[in-house]
Amino acid sequence: MVIKSCGRGEKKKRTPPTLPKRGTNVKNTEKPTRRRQRHRRPNVVPGENGNIGPVGRIPPRLGNGPHRRPPGSRRPWDGHRHPKPVGPPGGRRGRHRGGVLGERVPDPDRGRLSDPAPPPRCALPPCMRGMRAMDISTLTDRFLEETAYPPNTASTYRRGLESFTLFAEEIYGEPSLTVLDDGCLADFWRWMVSPRGRGYSPRTASTYLAAVRRFLQWIDAKGEFPLPFSPIRALHRLKIRRGKRRGEGDIRRPVDERIPLVVVYYDALPLPSPTSSRDARKRLQILRNRAVVHTLYSTAARAGELITLTREQVREGRAAEAEIMGKGGFRRVIFFDEEARRAIRAYLAARQDDNPWLFIPHNGRKRGHIARSTVWAIVKHAARSLGLDPNTSPHSFRHYRAIQLLNEGMPLESVQAFLGHRQIGTTRTVYAPTMLSTLREQLKQCAVPAGEAAARLSLEAVK
């Protein structure tokens, strides 16, 4: 603003300043114009799923003309200058919470500073950009179809990968492979066993972790990882994170020695007279439950093996043994004692149907065999009524029978064949350390006191 000086008695007159033309040299002017940018940042914006790619040219902000950007808009960050908050929208919790690149941000779940925010994801090569639309759920279906695991294994792996999908959505912001890093396995393990996460037992967490490891190995073998992700580094970080705690899942709870009382409980239940349809169904359910617990005790079969038995395999309750398809497609033979055969015959004699399955529901809603949850409910009901260990389950019959046979002197190889284990190491690891009564008897017979051992040494020295 220039103010002209006037003579005495005259008013000062203000005149508007003269602005130079745009682009001229304004070194010595009173108000310089905007300089041209020496290094213009590339006009890029985040593309689909966070991929950075070129878009239409963004004009510079010059005054109030038609090229002025709308209020509230900002130039996108190209990943090289002026770090800005990164992370999933909405400020989700977890190690990838929003924060400045390289800054440690507070994590309310852990009560301490979390890991630094990850660097921005780079663009994918053209051959891998189609993987952006394939999330973990889609790849899970392909994985289970191509690997052709047994039905029970596939069901368990699917539950594990569903948990992994929920983990990725909750911690990383989206259930996609594009958000994984080398610490995902370690974070997944902590998320499963933590009370603030899912609170799984160590054994369940180990099973689900094995499913995710197989899943990542399958993707790595197909060469379809969209990011520079290394399963080897992820496994190393997992081992460092778990440390010596990885053996917690191998600790077995002691088996209740009152397991045979479950069989006695159902044998003592009175049978209602079939005067009505409701009483007839109740009678059939009690007879079926008797046959189920007798079969569990006699054969030490798994719940999944028991429900798939057919009337033809047991020959209407007259067969002393039957060949079944065990865990992992392994064929083995199970044995029925006289009490189990008698209970099966009584149950089949009361039935008036042509259903080929041995154990069926009697609620009029389903024609197939009973579910594993039904077998669990049968055992749990008796355990609660008798005041047994709350952890008593159908698998407790299997453990009880194995320990019983080992304590009675059956060789370990025979117990392995009876249980249907592929490797004897499984039988030895799970059941051999629990043979306490046999170990006590052998110590009493074979142990030599110190005085007697010293006397033997003196006699040998004299000779």
Spell out the residues 6+ positions from residue 324 whose beta carbon is closer than 8 angstroms to its own: 301, 305, 308, 309, 313, 331, 332, 333, 334
How many CB atoms sit inside 10 A of residue 286's CB? 18
Looking at the predicted structure, is the pLDDT value of residue 14 above 70? Answer: no
Over pLDDT 90: what percentage of the chain? 28
Mean pLDDT of 95-119: 46
Q: Please report, for residues 140, 179, 356, 446, the alpha-carbon distance to residue 143 in angstroms, rounded to integers and kept in the order given.
A: 5, 19, 33, 55
Mean pLDDT of 209-238: 77
| pLDDT tens string 159-211 | 999 999 999 888 888 888 777 778 888 888 889 988 877 888 888 888 999 99
Global confidence as pTM: 0.59
- pLDDT (0 to 100) of residue 86: 44
**Bridge partners for 117 per DSSP:** 101
Q: pLDDT band for position 437 (50/70/90)?
A: low
- N- to C-terminal Cα separation, the chain: 127
- pLDDT (0 to 100) of residue 303: 92
180/250: higher pLDDT: 180
The domains found in the chain, sorted by start residue, are 131-250 (1.10.150), 260-440 (1.10.443.10)
Mean pLDDT of 1-12: 53
| pLDDT tens string 404-413 | 888 888 888 8
177/250: higher pLDDT: 177
Rounded to the nearest 10 degrees, the angle between the axes of helix 277-299 and helix 394-407 is: 40
213/249: higher pLDDT: 213
Dig out the tokens for 81 from the structure: 């200058």
Looking at the predicted structure, is the pLDDT value of residue 112 above 50? Answer: no
